[in-house]
A = this chain, B = another copy of it.
Amino acid sequence: MSEKSLEKNEIFDSYFKNLSDRERAVFEGGISLGALFHQFIGTPVSEKTKKSLEIAMSESLKNQPFIEDVSVSIVGIIEDGKYVSLTGEMLDVSLTVKTEKNRALLRLKYIKELDYPLMYVEKI
């Protein structure tokens, strides 16, 4: 498991006694997806700079408690020589949360039928 210091802190743990391990996993995953979206939406991005933004988004989220892995894809083609502000529609994010007893796979993905960038639990 992770060596993040908060995860091994007793005071930290004491705040989560009312949650099951599964509930904890989806709670922490939800926080991280909400954080990712609202931290980075609006960032100027072009084809040239996509990669560095995907990496930074993923790396920054790995700092959060119980986040084992994050993969960020900025989807769609941005016209040559142009840049846009990052929107939720452009994001395809997979996030793995690892708690004591569970590993959950969460997703942020634009769902066309909903016209909405949906955050959901793909597997737990």
List A residues at the B interface (Cβ < 8 Å): 3-6, 9, 11-12, 15-16, 18-19, 22-23, 26-46, 48-49, 52-53, 55-57, 59-64, 79, 81-83, 85, 87-88, 111, 113-114, 116, 118-121, 123-124
Does the CB pair B34–A38 fall under 8 Å? yes
Does the CB pair B43–A60 fall under 8 Å? yes
Does the CB pair B29–A46 fall under 8 Å? no
Contact residues in B for A79 (Cβ distance below 8 Å): 5
Max chain B Cβ within 10 angstroms of own Cβ: one of A5, A40, A59: A59
A23 to B97, CA, bound (A): 14
Question: Looking across the interface, which residue of chain B has its beta carbon closest to that of A123?
Answer: B18
